[in-house]
């Protein structure tokens, strides 16, 4: 993965743990055949494509809230 993409993606999703999870899910989708949401003149890995999609605002995420019940 390109360091500059990681730094730029961390500006969008500041929590590294969440970023890793979002990238991981998107990479799985791309490897299953989903089309990239960004175009590139260079051949990008699935990881770099996912990071570019985050940087370009093509991917969003929601944190689930959990309530403990007794």
User: What confidence score (pLDDT) does residue 63 get?
Assistant: 82
User: What confidence score (pLDDT) does residue 62 get?
Assistant: 86
Across 47-55, average pLDDT: 97
Q: Which residues of 15-46 are buried (b: 16+ CB within 10 A; e: fewer)?
A: eeeebeebbeebbeebeeeeebbbeeeeebeb
Q: How confident is the model at residue 18 (pLDDT cuts 50, 70, 90)?
A: very high
Is 0.85 topped by the overall pTM? yes
Domain boundaries, the chain: 3-55
Across 4-14, average pLDDT: 97
């Amino acid at each position: 993965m390109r360091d500059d993409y990681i730094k730029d993606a961390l500006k969008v999703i500041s929590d590294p743990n969440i970023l890793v999870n979002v990238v991981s899910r998107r990479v799985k989708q791309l490897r299953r055949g989903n089309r990239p949401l960004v175009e590139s003149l260079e051949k990008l890995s699935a990881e770099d494509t996912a990071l570019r999609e985050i940087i370009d605002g093509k991917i969003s995420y929601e944190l689930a809230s959990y309530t403990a019940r007794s």
